[in-house]
């Protein structure tokens, strides 16, 4: 007896349709699963056996062979439990195979036959959007599946109810959707108006938000670097539909998506501790799950106390920051993740934090200062578009009654600048993502600007990367002003944001 049904498995951010072939033949009772299954898939044999029997069906005491095709794709997780169980029921004639050909099954089975939720449902639904197949998922995953209108999704609480619904004996259940069209705002975001002083730092963050640039802030303890970074999240524009789908897929794969039936609409803001490992930042591990860098896709990764991160973690950021994607390669395979994000980093000028301060003296020796700054390599520093000094705030600034600009006002300017970039570069792309050819085309300088950049290039020994990043920042400053051409004052402002190239010599 033979039957074939369809399951689905996720690898990275991509979902692959799996043909689950089941052969039940005479012989000693054996249950084999082949087709490159991982340990979690091999363990499904015991879950499926108990679920089928406890749901009131007959489990064949014969030789059962399950093949997961294509066999060259590694299958991991418990999401193929339901497909394997349905294949056995179809092969033994307990469920008509003809009614299963346009269904794709995804879900874990409990020993009593209940359907349990699994991660990655949204990625599965997206991959089936251009097919004629329907997706069968556990009840907790259903609201996530119906986010994709292009496919039809059904659910059932347990294996018995599912088989009865497929046979037409009962109707599929329709859970009540409770979608809030206006999701609650994140009250942890600091408003710009709550930060006194630091006008240059706030303007720098506005430029970074408008152009998607990386920014590093350096200053003594308590000057407001962390507060400024948290306020940065409040001036970012909302995600577009395509960006929202991609971000929600990543959170679904990582198992961090609540079963609310809503897309993530706010840009991610990830703030890992400096003790995080390379696997925690980049991803990988046994399940090849995305790390903090990938979870910040289309958003922000805030690295507080940058020199305190391990050297290996910091150097591993260089390639994804340049290529805007991350390839995680481990013994079990290779997975590619998107990494279109901005990085905000902060650091003290030295180990004690008071080097260069006008009020307090530094207790570090020159060698200690050099060693502390040397934890951030030159190639990594070169990938930050804006280098900003954040000095201490004096008493009068803290108690000033002057009304500061709110995040809402700044956000409107950022959004207007982004719209100019989208018209020029295409939807969702920013100035920070311009290629060398686009930089040459859209960042032209007049004669005075060319002379200024030439002299700075020679004096500061800039790299080609640093040269292009100055031009892209200047382009963003122009977009914020709403003008067309890069003038010498725009270029001069962009150049001053490379000041740390001279402060941190490595």
Spell out the SS3 assignment of 333-395.
Answer: EEEEEECCCEEEEEECCCCCCCCCCCCCCCCCCHHHHHHHHCCCCHHHHCCCCEEEECCCCCH
pLDDT of residue 504: 40
Give residue 56's Cα distance to chain centre: 43
So what's the pLDDT on residue 262? Answer: 79
Other CB atoms within a 10 A radius of the CB of residue 496 amount to 15
The pLDDT score that the predictor gives to residue 186 is: 54
The answer to whether 126 touches 149, Cβ cutoff 8 Å, is no
Over the stretch 414-453, which tens digit does the pLDDT of each residue have? 999 999 999 999 888 999 999 999 999 999 999 999 999 9
* Interatomic CA distance for residues 110 and 96, integer angstroms: 23
DSSP E strands in 160-248: the ranges are 215-218
DSSP 421-446: HHHHH-TT--GGG--HHHHHHH----
Task: Report the C-alpha gap between 284 and 55 in whole angstroms.
Answer: 37
pLDDT of the residue at 396: 79
Sign of CA dihedral 499, 503, 505, 506: negative
pLDDT at 182: 44
The larger pLDDT score, comparing residue 499 to residue 89, is at 89
Instruction: Report residue 356's pLDDT band, with 50, 70 and 90 as the boundaries.
Output: confident
The sign one gets for the Cα dihedral 290, 294, 298, 300 is positive
Could you report the per-residue pLDDT of 377-418, keeping only the tens digit for each?
988 998 999 999 998 888 877 777 777 889 999 999 999 999
> Per DSSP, what are the bridge partners of residue 173?
155
* CA nearest neighbour of 270 among 307, 315, 317, 223: 317
Task: Please report which confidence band the pLDDT of residue 61 belongs to, taking 50, 70 and 90 as the band edges.
Answer: very high
Range list of H helices, 233-346 = 241-253, 278-282, 292-295, 311-316, 318-323
Q: Please list, in sequence order, all residues whose beta carbon lies within 8 angstroms of the beta carbon of residue 169, skipping any fewer than 6 positions away.
A: none
Measured distance CA(476)–CA(486) in Å, rounded:
10
Closest among 136, 167, 139, 169 to 154, alpha carbons compared: 136
Mean pLDDT score across all residues of the chain: 89
Closest CA to 440 of 453, 458, 428: 453
Residue 207 clears pLDDT 70, i.e. is over it: yes
Burial 384-412 (b: 16+ CB within 10 A, else e): bbbbbbbbbbeeeeeeeeeebbebeebbe
Place of tokens 């000095």: 391
pLDDT band of residue 177 (cuts 50, 70, 90) is: low
Residue 501, pLDDT > 80, answer no
The number of CA neighbours under 13 Å toward the Cβ of 162 is 32
Measured CA to CA, the distance from residue 120 to residue 138 in angstroms comes to 12
């Amino acid at each position: 007896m033979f039957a074939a049904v369809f399951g689905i498995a996720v690898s990275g951010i991509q979902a692959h349709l799996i043909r689950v072939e089941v052969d039940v033949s005479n012989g000693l009772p054996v249950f084999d699963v082949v087709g490159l299954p991982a340990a979690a898939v091999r363990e499904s044999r015991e879950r499926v056996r108990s679920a089928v029997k406890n749901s009131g069906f007959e489990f064949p005491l014969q030789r059962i062979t399950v093949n997961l095709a294509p066999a060259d794709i590694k299958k991991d997780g418990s999401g193929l439990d339901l497909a394997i169980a349905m294949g056995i029921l179809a092969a033994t004639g307990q469920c008509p195979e003809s009614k299963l050909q346009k269904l794709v099954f995804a879900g874990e089975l409990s020993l009593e036959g209940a359907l349990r939720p699994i991660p990655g449902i949204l990625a599965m639904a997206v991959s089936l959007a251009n097919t004629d197949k329907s997706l069968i998922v556990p009840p907790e995953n259903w609201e996530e599946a119906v986010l994709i209108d292009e496919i039809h999704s059904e659910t059932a609480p347990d294996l018995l109810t599912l088989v009865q619904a497929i046979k037409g004996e009962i109707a599929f259940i329709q859970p009540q959707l409770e979608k809030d069209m206006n999701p609650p705002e994140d009250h942890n975001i600091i408003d710009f108006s709550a930060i006194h002083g630091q006008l240059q730092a706030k303007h720098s963050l506005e430029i970074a938000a408008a152009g998607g640039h990386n920014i590093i802030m350096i200053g003594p303890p308590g000057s407001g670097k962390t507060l400024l970074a948290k306020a940065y999240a409040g001036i970012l524009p909302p995600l577009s539909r395509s960006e929202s789908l991609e971000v929600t897929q990543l959170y679904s794969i990582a198992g961090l998506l609540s079963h609310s039936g809503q897309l993530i609409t706010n840009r991610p803001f990830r703030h890992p501790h400096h003790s995080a490992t390379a696997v925690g930042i980049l991803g990988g591990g046994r399940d090849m799950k995305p790390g903090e860098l990938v979870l910040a896709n289309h958003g922000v990764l805030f690295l507080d106390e940058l020199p305190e991160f391990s050297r290996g973690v910091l150097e591993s950021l260089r390639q994804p920051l340049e290529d805007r994607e991350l390839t995680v390669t481990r013994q079990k395979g290779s997975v590619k993740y998107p990494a279109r994000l901005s990085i905000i980093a902060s650091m003290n000028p030295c180990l004690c934090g008071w080097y260069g301060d006008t009020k307090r003296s530094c207790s570090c020796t020159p060698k200690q200062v050099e060693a502390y700054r040397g934890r951030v390599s030159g190639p990594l520093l070169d990938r930050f578009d804006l280098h900003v000094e954040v000095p201490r705030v004096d008493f009068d600034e803290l108690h000033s009654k002057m009304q500061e600009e709110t995040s809402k006002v700044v956000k409107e300017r950022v959004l207007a600048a982004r719209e100019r970039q989208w018209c020029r570069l295409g939807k969702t792309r920013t100035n920070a993502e311009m290629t060398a050819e686009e930089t040459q085309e859209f960042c032209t300088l007049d004669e005075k600007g060319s002379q200024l950049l030439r002299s700075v290039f020679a004096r500061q020994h800039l790299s080609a990367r640093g040269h292009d990043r100055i031009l892209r920042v200047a382009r963003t400053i122009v977009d914020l002003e709403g003008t067309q051409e890069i003038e010498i004052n725009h270029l001069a402002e962009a150049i001053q944001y490379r000041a740390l190239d001279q402060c941190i010599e490595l």
